[in-house]
Every structure is written in C-alpha cells, then in structure tokens.
Chain A
Amino acid sequence: MPARNARILIIEDEKGIVLAIDGWFRHHSKTLSGIVLDHAPDLASGMDRAKDAHLIILDLTLPDSQDPMETLKRIPELRQRAPVLVLTGREDSDFPPDRNITVLGVSEYGAEAVLFKSMMQSPEGMDWLILSMQAALLRRAYVLKHGPEAIAPN
C-alpha cells in the first residue's frame, strides 16, 4: 500500500518561525518525503485550509486575530479536523494573570500541547516541536482507532 501524504498546516504570521520549521523539513526531505507542509499567514485562511490538514500548528497572535484568547477559542473547531499544537511567543506566566496558556490551551480548548517560540531558538526546541508533533499524530490515530474513551481519565 502506498504511503499517504500527511499535511501539516502552520498557521503563523512570523516568517522566521515558518522558515525555521520549513528549513528543518527541507533538511530531512528524504526521510520526510511523505509529509507536506502547508502555511497560512492568518486565521481566516488557516480555517479554510484546515480541512485537509492532519496536524495544525497554531500561533496565538495573528493579523486577523490579535487577541490570543479569541484564537484559543477557535481551537475546538480546528481540532475537529486535526490535532492542534499551539505555538506562542508569550511567556506562560504573564497570560492571563489567573490561568496560564498551557492550562487554558490544553485543558479547556483541547490543544495537544503548547510550545513557546523562545524554545525554537535552540535545536532542542525544534526537537520538542517535532516530538510533540509525533505524539499528537499518534494520539489522534489512537483515539480514532479505539475511541475517545480510550484516553479518558477513568
């Protein structure tokens, strides 16, 4: 059976981040020939392209969604199509004062993980992103195969 192409959608307006991810994938293009990277610079086009995606990387501050809270609220809609990883430039502690991004994004809106852009400055940070992508993809496959109750706590 021929290998399927997996589409990874990056909804991100910062070119540097997109180039960093794209560069990593290009560097390993031989190994990752079955993965197609797609890029949407704003939330509206991201929502359009999400239907074909198998994994979505979402920036919280986008040109058409400056309020990170508003972007967070779109996660449930996005994750019906594919698992969502949140990538943000905001530090966890100053957002918002009572609840941090990780707790809000993961527990309340259903993101698979929250990663910080400052992490992307090191090769280890890129490894985190790649491994989080891997974990999110496998978990989605597991849930689809065995049902959501398979990972429900108790």
Chain B
Amino acid sequence: MLDIAFTGARSRGNTRSPQKRPRTGLAETSTILCNSNAMRDILPIQRHMSFHATIQSVLAAGGVVITGAATVAVSQNIGVFTAFVAMGAAAGVFYSFLAKGGGLLVENRRTVKARIIVGMIGGIGLPRLGELFLPWFRQITLDPILLIMAGFACAWLSYSIGHAVFQKLDKRENAIAATLARAAEKSARIQDDASTQRENPDN
C-alpha cells in the first residue's frame, strides 16, 4: 500500500477537478518531484492559489477602494475622504490577504463563489456602512480622545486578525512538520532494519 500518491504530469488548466487531474503510478514520478504539479496532492492543506482567484481578489479589493472613495467623493468632504479611502484600502488589503490565504483556503468552486460574494458585499456594503458613520467620523476628527480610542480599537483589531492568521499559518506548517516526522520515523526504522539485515544476514 502506498503512503503517497503522485500525479506526474505538469498539467495546465483545472488541476482541481479530480476528473481532469491525470493520475499516474509512483514509478512515473521517480524523475522530477519538485517540478511536478503532483506535490500538491500530498500537501496536507492545499495552498496554491489560481490565477483566476488572484484576479478576483484584486478586483474585489480594488472595488472596495474605488467604491469607498467614490462614495466619499459624492459627500465632498475632504477630511472624511481620507478616512474613507483608508477604510476602503484597509478592507481591500485585508480581503486580499484572506483570499491569498490560498494558504488558508482549500480552493474549489464554492470558495471562489464565496470570494465573489464577499467582494461584492465588501465593495457595496462597506462604503454604505461608512456613509452611515459619516457624522461619527466627523466627530472623531474633532475629538482627540475619540481619535486615540479609535486608534487603539483599530490597532487591537489588526493585531487580533494578524495573530489569528499567523496562528493558522503556523498550524499549517505544523501539519507539514508532523507528516515529515512520521515519514522520517518510518523510513529510519525500515532503513535501520535493512542495514542490520545486510550486516548480519543470519538474523
């Protein structure tokens, strides 16, 4: 029984679909492991992001920023404009980062759809939400205490998000380390037994 399965072909197109993904035997992969798409199959968590998903993320992030900026441009308030653009940019960057969680998400049709929906909601919803808070933004720019409080809140939120994301990344690395540990233990046992057998063929 094989512990690992490889696909040796370097495929183009939809490699996510099991129907379209060519599967070959171990023998055919005795050549170039590192250049093969196949390594994806043994990744504990798939973390490759497709070109299309990248474009979607960029578009969604751009949408958030542009719509946010446009909404504020309509309000013609230069002071709040900065806040809105910053919010849009932060939301966009955050969204791209999560989406790039190519590292974090297993990519399939459902997650791609989810990204589009999140992008649309983010693009339309966030600026609308910002519009609701327009008076509050104005007040913040005038009141230094509120400004500092908001700063702390933002810092805390960023830290929490960053911490959560890095913890998840670390968990992924740990999964890779755990599979290596298992492989090493198994291989060391078999290699040692084989060399003992070679040295003492009578045993």
Q: Would A141 and B190 count as touching, CB distance under 8 A?
A: yes
Interface size on A, residues (CB 8 A): 46
Is the pair B39, A32 in contact by a Cβ cutoff of 8 Å?
Answer: no
| Stretch from A38-46, A65-73, A108-116 forming part of the interface with B | A108-116
Tell me whether A128 and B34 are in contact in the complex, defined as CB-CB below 8 angstroms, given that A54-B191, A144-B194, A151-B27 are known contacts: yes
| Chain B residues bordering chain A, tally (CB within 8 A) | 34
Chain A hits for B184, CB < 8 A = 6, 8, 32, 34-35, 54-55, 133-134, 137
A84 at interface, CB cutoff 8 A: no
Residues of A within 8 A of B (CB): 3-8, 27-28, 31-35, 54-55, 82, 102-103, 106-107, 112-115, 123, 127-128, 130-142, 144-145, 151-154
A-contact 0/1 string along B161-203, CB 8 Å cutoff? 0000000000001101111110111111111101000000000
Q: Which residues of B contact A112 (CB under 8 A)?
A: 33
State in angstroms the CA–CA spacing of A113 and B33 once bound together.
Answer: 6
CB distance from B27 to the nearest CB of A (A): 5
Closest to B197 in A: A144
CA distance A27 to B4 in the complex (A): 25
> A residues within 8 A CB of B192?
4
Contact of A142 among B26, B174, B179, B180 (CB under 8 A): B26
What are the residues of chain A within 8 A of B187 when measuring CB–CB? 6, 54-55, 137-138, 140-141
- Which one of A3, A4, A33, A152 has the greatest number of beta carbons of chain B within 10 Å? A4
Q: Are A114 and B174 in contact (CB under 8 A)?
A: no
